Amino acid sequence: MSLRLRLLSIIIGVAAGISLLFTLLMIDDLAITWLDGSSELARSAAQQAKASLLARLGGKNAETMADTEQLWVKLAEQDAVLPELLEKEMARSQTIIEISIADAAGRVLSSSDPMRKQRALNSKPSLEALRQANAFARLTALLTGSSDFEVRLPIGVPQLQRPVFVIQVLVSPALLRDLLVPRIRSIALISCAILGVAILLSIWLSNIMLRNITRLGEEIDRIASGDAPPPRTDVPSREFALVQSKLNILGQQFRGFQSVLEKLEDAVLIFDASRRLVLCGNPAKRLLGAVETGRKLEELSFGAALAEVFQRKTAVQNMPLQNLLADVEFFPGGTIVRVRDPEGRKQLESELDLSNRLAAVQRLTGGVAHEIKNPLNSITLLLEVLKMKTPETVEELDVISEEVRRLDRVVRTFLEFSRPVELNRQPLDAFELLRDILKFLQPDAERRKIQVSLTGEAAMISADKDLLRQALLNIVMNAMEAMPGGGELRVSAAREGNDCVLRIQDSGTGIPPEKLGKIFQLYYTTKEHGSGIGLAQTFRAVQLHGGKIQVDSKKDLGTVFTIHIPILESVA
Ligand SMILES: Nc1ncnc2c1ncn2[C@@H]1O[C@H](COP(=O)(O)OP(=O)(O)O)[C@@H](O)[C@H]1O
Ligand SMILES: [Mg+2]
């Protein structure tokens, strides 16, 4: 049932209950007034009947009390005027339907109704008891009962313990009903009017309340999606403004929290108590594919695998999920699922390891290179001296000189590599940089019959332009060199999560798997005039930018180099 319907039915129910109660109270009040009036009338009718009876018997006594009683009973029974008096008395009231006089044994001696004579006095519920009963019993007896009610007046003499006569006045509630019906009708009319007003009021109220709730819902959706608040056209109420400002604070915290989630390597998903996904970062999308906040667990691709854990509500760790590992933890009001890629982590660890080792090696070898360079300088000088002293060995000495010069070149590039580099970072559009490089190499590509394409979008990074340019140039040149008979060179730049991803793909010779591990080594080359410096330089530049580089290659089909560099966070 919708909230509005529930609200309406509650308000209408309460209003209907109140008006029903109100109606019953009014009717009961009416009934009491009528009862009081009727018993007053009945009692006075009984008194009147008693007065008439005594007047008829006045002064007629026998010897003994028993004889007197017998005489009185006979007189009362035979009196022809008494029934007339009783009937007259009865006719004076609308509610009294019968007045009878009975003897001590309950036999009717005289009655307003001639048919009653000689019969036993009918015992009826007492009008007085009805007046004392609770409202519910009183109303059901009066409104639905068919029985009449009586008022009794016993008449006795001081010499006797028991009464000699009993006067019974019967009252019918039928007249009360006739009296009540129009009143009930008008009260019901008033109740209906109250009910109508209550319904209108509740529709109006629920509209106001639901409007605010809808607005708060929109506010929460906006926070979840991270949009800016829309311009306000109306002035919100004080309470609403208060809730809204609290929501805004919550929103800021939420966004802060979400950006933390984005930076995590693992995917963190938070579900609420009804198993609805309320929070997940980009890593979740990267690892698990299509996940969307607002979806139920059952609607997610991996939902079925987790359903049982959610059912049991016991925390699990390292649970296999697709080809990933998941930890599930429960907290009051929700569940946290943490998903990680064991493969990805291994790769990351090995990359970290490599760059650490590289730095350590550089620290060690820096000194060694210097130690080699100095003796090399001395050897060169001494060779020149030797050449002058022994001209007959000049040829051999020239060969040695050439070898020493080669050694010197190697040591120099090595020193170049070991030198700590200070990055001159600046905001840079990686797409623009690629376009620049391709333009520079265009003539070369045309000469080699290579078809070049560049796709993608602007992606801002913070980088040392010269260093990165050289790094990318090395890869593109390698790619072109790998396609001696022409081919296709595809270059792209794209944003993926928090990374700028650059891809350089050729359709060249490819790299055999056993050589893939070596290509980043300094001086490793398979080319006749290659230096083996290019990729080592590229690797170092990417590392210095906090990025990573991957290579994928298939023999005779080509090679793809993929470089990830963190996106420059916009300072908005
Ligand atoms: N796109 C590519 N296709 C095939 N082999 C490649 C590619 N890029 C690099 N290589 C291999 O990696 C080696 C190292 O490259 P690099 O460090 O640039 O040195 P160099 O280009 O001087 O040989 C190359 O000699 C080549 O064997
Ligand atoms: Mg090269």
202 close to ligand 1 (CB < 6 Angstrom): no
Distance CA 483, CA 489 (A): 9
Q: What is residue 278's DSSP assignment? A: E
Q: What is the mean pLDDT of residues 489-506?
A: 94
Ligand 1 centre distance from Cα of residue 527 (Å) = 8
Radius of gyration of the chain (CA): 55
Task: State percent of the chain over pLDDT 70.
Answer: 92
Q: What is the pLDDT of residue 228?
A: 60
531 close to ligand 1 (CB < 6 Angstrom): yes
Q: Confidence band (pLDDT; 50, 70, 90) for 355?
A: low
Q: What is the pLDDT of residue 506?
A: 97
How many other C-beta atoms can be found within 10 angstroms of the C-beta atom of residue 453? Answer: 11
pLDDT > 60? residue 350? no
Q: What is the pLDDT of residue 322?
A: 79
How many other C-beta atoms can be found within 10 angstroms of the C-beta atom of residue 107? Answer: 14
Q: What is the mean pLDDT of residues 43-50?
A: 88
pLDDT > 80? residue 366? no
Which atom from ligand 1 is nearest to the alpha carbon of 474? 18
Whether 520 and 535 have beta carbons less than 8 Å apart is answered as yes
Distance CA 313, CA 329 (A): 8
Whether 192 and 186 have beta carbons less than 8 Å apart is answered as no
pLDDT of 503-555, one tens digit each?
A: 999 999 999 999 988 999 888 999 999 989 899 999 989 988 888 899 999 98
Q: Which ligand is nearest to the CA of 536?
A: 1
Q: What is the pLDDT of residue 86?
A: 86
Q: What is the mean pLDDT of residues 480-499?
A: 93
Cα first-last separation, the chain: 44
Of 143-157, 207-221, 272-286, 394-408, where does mean pLDDT reach its minimum? 207-221
Distance CA 280, CA 267 (A): 7
Of 94-98, 194-198, 362-366, where does mean pLDDT reach its minimum? 362-366
Residue nearest to atom 9 of ligand 1 (CA): 478
Question: Between residues 19 and 448, which one has the greater pLDDT?
Answer: 448
Q: What is the pLDDT of residue 571?
A: 43
Mutate to test the pocket of ligand 1, among 535, 539, 540, 563 (most ligand atoms within 8 A of CB): 535
Ligand 1 centre distance from Cα of residue 478 (Å) = 5
Distance CA 72, CA 78 (A): 10
- Helix, strand, coil tally for the chain in percent (to 5): 55, 20, 25
Q: Which ligand is nearest to the CA of 522?
A: 1
pLDDT of 273-310, one tens digit each?
A: 888 888 887 778 878 877 888 888 888 888 888 888 88
Residue nearest to atom 12 of ligand 1 (CA): 519
Helix axes of 135-144 and 3-57: crossing angle, nearest 10 degrees = 70
SS3 assignment, position 59? coil
Mutate to test the pocket of ligand 1, among 417, 448, 478 (most ligand atoms within 8 A of CB): 478
Ligand 2 centre distance from Cα of residue 470 (Å) = 11
Q: Which ligand is nearest to the CA of 558?
A: 1
Nearest partner of 147 among 174, 115, 128, judged by Cα: 174
Ligand 1 centre distance from Cα of residue 420 (Å) = 25
CA quadruple 87, 89, 93, 99: dihedral positive or negative?
Answer: negative
Nearest partner of 505 among 447, 564, 451, judged by Cα: 451
Q: What is the mean pLDDT of residues 13-42?
A: 84
Q: What is residue 118's DSSP assignment? A: T
User: Which tokens belong to 256?
Assistant: 């802060």
Whether 151 and 128 have beta carbons less than 8 Å apart is answered as yes
pLDDT > 70? residue 224? no
Q: Which residues surround ligand 2, an ion (CB under 5 A)?
A: 478, 534
478 close to ligand 1 (CB < 6 Angstrom): yes
Indicate yes or no: pTM above 0.75.
no
DSSP lists the bridge partners of residue 321 as 324
pLDDT > 70? residue 569? no
pLDDT of 109-135, one tens digit each?
A: 899 888 888 888 888 888 888 888 888
pLDDT > 90? residue 502? yes
Residue with token string 């509209």: 207
Q: Confidence band (pLDDT; 50, 70, 90) for 415?
A: confident
Count of CA atoms in the C-beta half-sphere (13 A) of 179: 17
Residue with token string 């029974």: 77
pLDDT > 90? residue 486? yes
Task: State percent of the chain over pLDDT 90.
Answer: 22
Whether 442 and 414 have beta carbons less than 8 Å apart is answered as no
Q: What is the pLDDT of residue 234?
A: 62
Q: What is the pLDDT of residue 387?
A: 87
SS3 assignment, position 240? helix
Q: What is the pLDDT of residue 465?
A: 94
pLDDT of 236-255, one tens digit each?
A: 667 777 777 777 777 777 77
Nearest partner of 268 among 254, 253, 278, 255, judged by Cα: 278
Question: Between residues 347 and 294, which one has the greater pLDDT?
Answer: 294
Residue nearest to atom 8 of ligand 1 (CA): 478
377-388 residues labelled b (16+ CB within 10 A) or e (exposed): eebeeeeeebbe
Q: What is the mean pLDDT of residues 464-478?
A: 95
Q: What is residue 484's DSSP assignment? A: T
Q: What is the pLDDT of residue 561?
A: 96
Give me the helices (H) in 274-341, please.
Answer: 282-288, 303-312
Q: What is the mean pLDDT of residues 63-80?
A: 85
Kind plus residue range of the DSSP H or E element containing 324: strand 324-331
Which atom from ligand 1 is nearest to the alpha carbon of 526? 25
Q: What is the pLDDT of residue 564?
A: 94
Q: What is the pLDDT of residue 570?
A: 57
212 close to ligand 1 (CB < 6 Angstrom): no
535 close to ligand 1 (CB < 6 Angstrom): yes
Q: What is the pLDDT of residue 195?
A: 81
DSSP lists the bridge partners of residue 495 as 500
Nearest partner of 437 among 462, 466, 458, judged by Cα: 466
Nearest partner of 130 among 49, 200, 38, 208, judged by Cα: 38
Q: What is the pLDDT of residue 572?
A: 39
Residue nearest to atom 27 of ligand 1 (CA): 526
181-212 residues labelled b (16+ CB within 10 A) or e (exposed): eeebeebeeebeeebeebeeebeeebeeeeeb
511 close to ligand 1 (CB < 6 Angstrom): yes
534 close to ligand 1 (CB < 6 Angstrom): yes
Whether 483 and 506 have beta carbons less than 8 Å apart is answered as yes
Q: What is the mean pLDDT of residues 414-430?
A: 83
Residue nearest to atom 23 of ligand 1 (CA): 525
Distance CA 471, CA 488 (A): 20
Q: Confidence band (pLDDT; 50, 70, 90) for 479?
A: very high
474 close to ligand 1 (CB < 6 Angstrom): yes
Residue with token string 């390292």: 318
Phi, psi angles (nearest 5°) of residue 22: -60, -45
Q: In Å, how far are 362, 411, 421 from 368, measured between CA atoms?
A: 10, 10, 19
Q: What is the mean pLDDT of residues 132-139?
A: 86
